[in-house]
Amino acid sequence: MIPILLKILRTGVVTEKAPAAREEWRTRAAEIDAQILRLLGRALVIREVDAGSCNACELEVNALANPYYNIEGMGIKLTASPRHADLLLVTGPVAKNMEEPLRAAYEAMPAPKLVVALGDCAKDGGIFGASYATCGGASKVLPVDVTVPGCPPPPLAILEGILAAVALRKP
């Protein structure tokens, strides 16, 4: 237990010592935090669906949970069940083999529902295009609110895309 506590204490100090990157992220994070509160007034729950990505988009979505971006601290939560989700985050060109599961996840979400197409693949099929095996983007299957370009989009771009979608739906 003592080494763990020590490590936690020491880590705190280490993080404090990374001003250049940290300050920048801090400011942005604080801004985004305020926006979420203003736009939503509550937490945001996201169901992520990999519809045939190469897995790199997932790596960057997962990075959002690290202590630098700390999305949970901002009230954004990734959920297992689409029934709890406000927003569907889709990656990949939508492989034909994932078309139906993706649709089912969308159907299971309570209205109103937001859809963010994440990455060049979800945008228009990306490098895989539209083929016998792919639909050529999330908008071919679902009504997409926001598209985030990039291959993969870095974590901050993902966050900005999510906020752009949330801002859309605010009356």
Partner 1 sequence: MAISGLAISDRRLAGEMPATLARVTAEQWLDAARRVHETGGRLVALWGADRRDDGGAFSIHAAYAGSDGLAILELPVAEEEETYPDLSAIFPCAARMQRAVHDLLGLVAQGAADLRPWLRHGAWRANEFPLRREFDPEAYRANAFEAYPFVRVAGDGVHEIPVGPIHAGVIEPGHFRFSVVGEKVLRLEERFGFAHKGIDRRFADFTVAEGYRLAGRCCGDSTVAYAWAYAQAAEALLEVAAPPRAKWLRGLMLEAERIANHLGDLGALGNDGGFGFALAQFSRLREDWLRLCDEAFGHRLMMDRVVPGGVAADVGDAIRASIAARSEAIEREARTLRDIFDEHSGLQDRFITAGRVTPETARLLGLIGLAGRASGQALDLRVDFPAEPYTRLAVKKAGHAGGDVAARVRVRFEELLESLRLVREIAASLPEGATRVELPHPAAGAFGVGWVEGWRGEVLVAIEAGEGGRIRRAHAHDPSWQNWPVVEHAIMGNIVPDFPLINKSFNLAYSGTDG
**Residue 143 contact, options ligand SF4, partner 1, none, Cβ 5-8 Å cut-off depending on partner type:** none
Q: How many Cβ atoms sit within 10 Å of the Cβ of residue 102?
A: 22
- CA-based max dimension of the chain: 57
Whichever of 33 and 58 has its CB closer to partner 1, that residue is: 58
User: What would you report as the CA-atom Rg of the chain, rounded to the nearest whole angstrom?
Assistant: 17
CB 132 within 8 A of CB 86: no
* Residue range at the interface with partner 1 (CB under 8 A); choices 6-14, 28-36, 37-45, 162-170: 6-14
Angle 171-37-106 from CA coordinates, rounded to 5°: 65
Site track for ligand SF4 across 64-103, x = CB under 6 A: ---------------------------xx-----------
- Taken as a whole, the chain contains a residue count of 171
Q: How far apart are CA 161 and CA 158, in angstroms?
A: 5
Among 33, 35, 40, 58, the residue binding partner 1 under the rule CB under 8 A is 58
Q: How many Cβ atoms sit within 10 Å of the Cβ of residue 33?
A: 16
Find how far residue 111's CA is from the centre of its chain.
Answer: 19
* Residue range at the interface with partner 1 (CB under 8 A); choices 34-42, 62-70, 109-117, 159-167: 62-70
Using CB under 6 A as the binding rule, the residues of this chain from 39 to 58 that contact ligand SF4 are 53-54, 56-57
Q: In whole angstroms, how close is the CB of 170 to partner 1 at the nearest point?
A: 26
Residue at 45: amino acid letter: V
Residues that bind ligand SF4 (CB under 6 A): 53-54, 56-57, 91-92, 119-121, 126-127, 151-152
Q: Which residues would be at the binding site for partner 1 (CB under 8 A)? A: 3-4, 7-8, 11, 15, 21, 48-63, 65-68, 78, 80, 92-93, 95-101, 105, 126-129, 131-134, 151-152, 154
